Structure 1
């Protein structure tokens, strides 16, 4: 039986005869896996599951692997190992330039893929501490971090991603304090912080869409120009 706290690998490949046997092999080696046939399925899984590494095929119908890789890097996603065709040297170079952590040329030996996955996981900094488990109330919401949810005063339930859950917990720890982008990167990044801070801005935008009445005119999570962001609400323990 796979350890429930073992690293979880997302395999994204439109070829069923590749992703399913590969999943079985990785599970036998003690890893957990999730499968996606295209970029759209991968995005859905990334929104609701804690993924530690993405094995990503470049050549897929619809949105290709390079596009998804670029999105993952921009949104401070998990490490990416690209699967490329023998002739796609340009794609391999582009993939590394946009932030992929490694690549492997098809056809490949599953043992080599496993070795590369483990090498990436070893050099990926451990996840930062999880937010507190107790529920806290603020601005008409109750944050239930263990369930990755927000519960509104009207009973509305909003699901949070792991990144949103962690980010909100940081603001609730320090209400009314200005937190700079650099500070937020240090506190939220499960891997080395990027040289730019757009990842934090994107996470803030997504969080605002879930907690604000009008995300374009935020009243709860405001921008301090030149400084960062601030949660302007009282925070109390919730039963």
Structure 2
């Protein structure tokens, strides 16, 4: 998977890029709802004999715009997000830096630069995806901004037990310690990353087995 980190304005020329089908969104968690969007893009790319891509952003818009809850603790850091997207057979990943300059772009300016400008020929997004200044662009009005350069698909909400699967819901479950249900919404075990450092070397086989047992219980049991 080829990864490009972009800022506004980027310097990639559409004539340098292949025709592409892309999913777009922040995709924190890459949960089952996100996977539906991404898998639809990958399948459409195969059908059209094009490359597949994901367009995502970093940091979370709430960090830049200072609105409400600031999502500085991500469900999937960039490293893990890349790994999950690789497993979903995405060919290209565009990580766009979300900053105040980007947030001030009009919906048409955003589409011109990051969709048409990246040679995206078909765009897939969730039904509630918004873009441009104050989110004034969305999947209901995107046809006004395509300039007939690309087509698009909006994916309806994905639910579990009649409740929408969302990153917000997953954060609530993590806060409550409900790791089992988090795994169900993600469609994979929740992963933890950290740095192993040299300690007092007191660990023996019994300590390792006990730690494995506790981690297993933490995943499969609710607090």
Under TM normalisation by the shorter chain, which class is it?
under 0.3
Q: Whose relative contact order is higher, 1 or 2, with alpha carbons under 8 Å and at least 6 apart?
A: 2
When normalised by structure 1's length, the TM-score is 0.24
